[in-house]
Amino acid sequence: MGIPFDRLGSLFSRWGHRAYPRWAWPLLSEALRTLPREGRVLDLGGGTGVLARAALAIRPDLKITVVDPAKGMLRHVPAPIEVAFARAEALPFARAQLDAVLLGEALHHFQDPRAALVQVARVLRPGGLLWIYDFDPRAGLGRWVYWGERLLGEPANFMTPQGLLGEIAGLGFSGSFEARRGRYVLTARLKDEKPQAAARPA
């Protein structure tokens, strides 16, 4: 079953920004202001570009692309934001091409979040920014969202902020999070040197 995102573009375009708590926007602004001028930014699983539009309002010089597998959502992304029809697990970008990747209420919708995060690490430049807003399935509102999405037939691949930090650490990221009532913002940077795989025993 699942949520019919292809048919909900106009709804998300108009009201999607209300899904974000007010306290998340200053954290986004703080993160974006560290990016280089005309930096390349990916809004991954960005739907109608709600997060991309907010980012562009903060930093009009950024070059932003929204990637989503629902064409009905992408049709509502406004210019000059670019769009790409693709899945998070197979991003159409070269290695070390982007300065930042943003994920707003998207990671838990992916069929394979870990594969998507591997792709994120691949396309980010060393020192690149990863900014994630999502729900904690074990706390507050996050518990209700988790069970609601399961009932709707969504993947509901939610991670706790602590678990997500551990997951991305193995991909070469270092970061922190702020959590409030079952929602959190995680901000991380890709280290200049990724951890090497442990040597196999002889």
- Tell whether 201 is covered by a domain: no
Report residue 82 CA to chain centroid gap: 16
Tell me: pLDDT of 77 over 70: yes
Range from 36-45, 141-150, 157-166 carrying the lowest mean pLDDT:
141-150
- Tell whether 181 is covered by a domain: yes
Domain membership of residue 121 as a residue range? 5-15+22-190
Q: How many structural domains comprise the chain?
A: 1
Range from 19-28, 169-178, 191-200 carrying the lowest mean pLDDT:
191-200
**Reported pTM:** 0.89
- Tell whether 196 is covered by a domain: no
CATH number at residue 37: 3.40.50.150
- Tell whether 202 is covered by a domain: no
Range from 16-30, 63-77, 122-136 carrying the lowest mean pLDDT:
16-30
Angle at 190 between CA 184 and CA 191, to 5 degrees: 130
- Tell whether 116 is covered by a domain: yes
- Tell whether 198 is covered by a domain: no
- Residues 128-155 have pLDDT tens digits of 999 999 999 999 999 998 899 888 888 9
Q: Three-state DSSP class for 161? A: helix
Angle at 95 between CA 176 and CA 173, to 5 degrees: 15
